[in-house]
Chain A
Amino acid sequence: MIWNTSIECMDRESMRKLQGERLRNVVEHVYHNCAPYRERMQQAGVKPSDIQSIDDIVKLPFSSKQDLRDYYPWGLLSVPQSEIVKIHASSGTTGKPIVMAYTRNDVANWAEAGTRCLAAYGLGKDDVIQVSYGYGLFTGGLGAHDASMNLGATTIPMSAGNTEKQLLMMRDLGATGLACTPSYALYLAEALEKSGIPRNEIKLKVGIFGAEPWTEEMRKEIEYRLGIKAYDIYGLTEISGPGVGFECECQNGTHLNEDLFFPEIVDPKTGEVLPEGTEGELVFTTLSKEGMPMIRFRTHDLTHLIYEKCSCGRTLVRMGRILGRTDDMLIIRGVNVFPSQVEAVLCTLEEVEPHFFITVDRVNNTDTFDIEVEVKEKYYSDVMSEMELLRKKIAHAIHSVVGIQPNIKPVAPNTIERSQGKAKRVNDKRKFK
């Protein structure tokens, strides 16, 4: 079902007109209410009056994750703090998280975007949606929650973990939709098989899966094992969270809610906008956000855009599969991880050298996160329990910054390969392409 036909099926010309109007408003808004944006526009020699249509967006300077760090926490706020009704955050590189602030309208617009996704998956007010994304600072749980409530579905705020209770609620409350990461869905599928609960006692029909990359093979496996239809939901904290984009029943690309989040594809090196259909770096501008609008935010995701009308009837632009990143960010168990975060933590620990090697894999449908760390000779103990304490200490320090628990493998000094120039510090064995 199409939740908002007038927007989702709007002809291209009207959409560009709407985007142009909204862009004018948001640029006017940040120029007058947010000093860093104003200064940057002044440096680039752009005034709000230079922005007349959506085509003028190319005149505006880019923004990045780094800006959110530099102006942490309130520097990019474009309304008085009293207008902010909630906060979300994702991990940063130096221990400081990236903070996003939402006004009441921002929350409502985000819920609208998420509701369009759920409706496209065939869900409605008669459905019971179990939200098994983590609740908290992570946008997944509360984002899916608000969308589900806005749709009018019966919403179960399960959060992640406690598998037995997940299955119990799923069965007893007759959940028809499951929102979680694809790897958690597979984990639940296994747990369900082991539990002995007959499949016909479970009413599940649709999966709302996102927050981490997954493959077509993984989709097939989830669909087969859970006996459901699995859809991708796309989002990123900086732009709001899950609901930036979604797959329709055709599953031929990810429709972007472009009336709210305007996408561009640029050359990652020059920043030039690339011709339609070309692969490049995805850039988003939030057209309706009030609290912390992002203007031309560089996602570092590599993909292309498809403007043809979709067979589902929607005209909303579609994004192709994300083919990689322009930086070294990893998404592990749904959490954004930069090798530089690991490096920063290791530099604070006396016992180790700042040389490390990360190996990421997917074993039994769960991401593994191994880090080889060179422990200084004098900190080696030949008592196993002391070595285990040291491993725990390192793991804890990294966990507190990155947000997920690594498995630390102590290695001898000078065993990790030193490379000339750009160090190869990661081996991602997972296959997404």
Chain B
Amino acid sequence: MVVKQLSVYLENKPNTLNKMLQVLTEHGINMTAFCVADSVDYGIVRFCVGRPELAYSILRENGYTVRLTDVVCIEVPHESGGLHKAIRIISESDINIDYMYAFADGGSAKVVIRCNSTERLIEIAQANHLELVKI
């Protein structure tokens, strides 16, 4: 269950994020997961939406440098050791995680993971009864 995540490159200065979100708002796009990675000069905004292809073309039309990236979303119990168990399974199978971000909602928590082999991660997750979800 591959999730298509959007990654948008923004200059690291005031108002750039606001402007990009404005574009999404105007098109009624709602985000379900969101994360900003920053360096001194630029940032990478990563997020998931219901219709990634649509958001992708809208952002492109508005002049943004944007990529669709395959990620995996795993739901883990929202309790001590919940995340740890999932990560331990992934680590033991020699998958390297490039980045991840998490959000918790009520009794469950979800982590979005970008790694060197999405296919393998899915296999491992299924074999180990980790819960893959769409977001």
Chain A interface residues toward B at CB < 8 A: 377, 380, 382-385, 387-388, 407, 409-415
Indicate whether A413 sits within 8 Å of B65 (C-beta atoms), given known contacts A382-B7, A388-B39. yes
Chain B residues numbered 97-135 whose CB sits less than 8 Å from any CB in chain A: 98-99, 114
By a CB distance below 8 angstroms, the chain B residues around A387 are 39, 42, 44
Is residue B63 within 8 Å, beta carbon to beta carbon, of the partner chain? yes
With CB as the reference atom, state the residue of chain B lying closest to A412: B65
Instruction: Tell me which residues across on chain A come within 8 A of B46, comparing CB atoms.
Output: 382
Given A388-B39, A409-B42, A410-B9, decide whether A382 and B114 contact each other with a Cβ distance below 8 A: yes
| Min C-beta distance of B72 to chain A, whole Å | 15
A/B interface sample: 23 pairs, CB < 8 A: A380-B9, A380-B65, A382-B7, A382-B67, A382-B69, A382-B114, A383-B98, A383-B99, A383-B114, A384-B39, A385-B98, A387-B39, A387-B42, A387-B44, A388-B39, A407-B41, A409-B11, A409-B41, A410-B41, A410-B42, A411-B11, A412-B9, A412-B63
Bound form: Cα–Cα A377–B64 in Å: 10
Chain A residue at minimum C-beta to C-beta distance from B64? A412
B124–chain A nearest beta-carbon distance, Å: 20
Residues of B in contact with A (beta carbons under 8 Å apart): 5, 7, 9, 11, 37, 39, 41-42, 44, 46, 63-65, 67, 69, 98-99, 114
With a CB–CB cut-off of 8 A, which chain A residues contact B65?
A: 377, 380, 412-413
DSSP class of B's interface residues: helix, strand, loop or mixed? Answer: strand
Cα–Cα distance between A223 and B65 once the two chains are bound (Å): 49
Q: Which residue of A lies closest to B37 (CB)?
A: A384
Chain B min CB distance to A398 (Å): 16
Alpha-carbon gap, A409 to B40, bound state (A): 9
**Cα–Cα, bound, A384→B36 (Å):** 11
Task: Assess the A384–B44 pair: CB atoms within 8 A.
Answer: yes
Q: Determine the residue in chain A with the shortest Cβ distance to B65.
A: A412
Q: Report the separation of the CA atoms of residues A380 and B8 in the bound assembly, to the nearest whole angstrom.
A: 10
Residues of A with C-beta under 8 A to B64: 412
- Using Cβ atoms and an 8 Å threshold, which residues of chain A touch B37? 384
**Distance between Cα atoms of A382 and B46 in the complex (Å):** 8
Bound: A383/B67 CA distance, A: 11
Q: What residues on A are CB-neighbors of B69 within 8 Å?
A: 382
Complex CA distance for A388 and B39, rounded to whole angstroms: 9
| Extra contacts besides A411-B42, A412-B65, A415-B63 (8): CB < 8 Å | A377-B65, A382-B44, A384-B39, A387-B39, A388-B39, A407-B41, A410-B9, A410-B42
Closest Cβ of chain B to A387, distance in Å, is 7
Closest A-B pairs by Cβ, 5 of them: A382-B7, A412-B65, A409-B41, A383-B98, A382-B69
In the complex, chain A residues whose CB is within 8 Å of the CB of B67: 380, 382
Contacts of A380 in B (CB 8 A): 7, 9, 65, 67
A261 to chain B, nearest CB (A): 43
In the complex, A234 Cα to B74 Cα: how many Å? 66
Chain B positions within 8 Å of A407 at CB level: 41
Contacts of B63 in A (CB 8 A): 412, 414-415
Compute how far the CA of A289 lies from the CA of B69 in the bound complex, rounded to whole angstroms: 63
The interface residues of chain A lying within 8 Å CB-to-CB of B98 are 383, 385
Which residue of chain A has the shortest Cβ distance to B98 in the bound complex?
A383
Residues of B within 8 A of A410 (CB): 9, 41-42
- Closest Cβ neighbor of A407 among chain B residues: B41
A387 vs B11: C-alpha distance when bound (angstroms): 14
* Assembly CA distance A385 to B42 (angstroms): 13
Q: How far is the CA of A128 from the CA of B109 in the complex (A)?
A: 70
The complex places the Cα of A385 from the Cα of B7 at a distance, in Å, of 15
Residue of chain A at shortest CB distance from B11: A411
A382–B56 Cα distance when bound, in Å, is 14
Give chain B nearest CB distance to A360 CB in angstroms. Answer: 16
Asked if B9 and A384 sit within 8 Å, CB to CB, the answer is no
With a cutoff of 8 Å between Cβ atoms, the chain B residues found around residue A411 in the complex are: 11, 42
Q: CA separation between A411 and B65, bound complex, in Å?
A: 9
Q: Kindly state the separation between the CA atoms of A420 and B34 in the bound complex, as whole angstroms.
A: 40
Which residue in chain B gives the minimum CB-CB distance to A378? Answer: B67
